[in-house]
Amino acid sequence: MQVSLRAIAWSALCFSGLSACASQAAPVKSQDTAAASQHSPAEKPTSAPADPSKTTVASDNAAKSSESSAAAEPTHESKGDGLRKASRPPTELITGPNVVFVFNFKESAVGIAAQEACERQAADNPRAVRECFDKARSQVPVESVRFVKDKANQYWWVTYNRYKGNLLKWHRVQFMPGQETDSSISLNLVGKDKGIAPLAHVPHSLAIELPNDYSIVIQDPELGKMAYDAKIGLMEAD
């Protein structure tokens, strides 16, 4: 009976002061909403699913970019013999005022052939192989070569050979610089050989390769490829 009287009293109060009743009811709704928000987490926006076609295109582009980068970088096999190319024009390199190119028998065609022949003859005797190789070297009198630019701006190809212990100017032929690339030059030989052992027939040209700044290779008509190492200061300017 007490509950009924209380309900009746509350209804009467709300009827007489409707605005007050409404103001009391509002906080209840706010509390209910807050409670509901604690039990139901707010929904977070989700990103749209990735387009499979766009993903495939991106992967293809990445693969092509990787392939292009790999192609741009030369592999070890694409570097040829691995020797660095000459850094300056061949004419400038070979005609340096103090440069002498000393014959490298071991790296030349005649030296390589001699080494193979000596190893076949005395394969089990290193000393005999060395003596055989030294003997083969002594049979090739070539010692060094120079390419001289004189005061009159004339170019000369000069070879030095050893004869009875003396170093002599074996050949001395004038030349004009011919066709030139980054690592080679052709010398156009002019006139007669003015050395102490002149060539009976001076060739029209002399082909020279420059694999780097410190060596040259000359194609000899009789001895094949002959390698030379650049040396500085061995001789005075000619």
Indicate the burial class of 208 (C-beta count within 10 angstroms; 0-12, 13-18, 19 or more). buried
Q: What is the pLDDT of residues 45-92, one digit of tens each?
A: 444 445 544 444 444 544 444 444 333 333 333 333 545 666 788 999
Among 98, 90, 117, CA closest to 211: 90
Q: What is the DSSP string of 184-203?
A: EEEEEEES---SSS--SS--
pTM: 0.62
Query: Helix, strand, coil proportions of the chain in percent (round to 5)?
Result: 40, 30, 30
Question: What is the predicted pLDDT for the residue at 210?
Answer: 93
Query: What tokens does 9 get?
Result: 């009293």
Question: What is the predicted pLDDT for the residue at 167?
Answer: 86
On the question of pLDDT at 209 being above 90, the answer is: yes
Question: What is the predicted pLDDT for the residue at 158?
Answer: 95
Q: What is the pLDDT of residues 165-201, one digit of tens each?
A: 888 999 999 999 999 998 999 999 999 999 999 988 9
Q: Token pair 């790296």 is at which residue?
A: 107
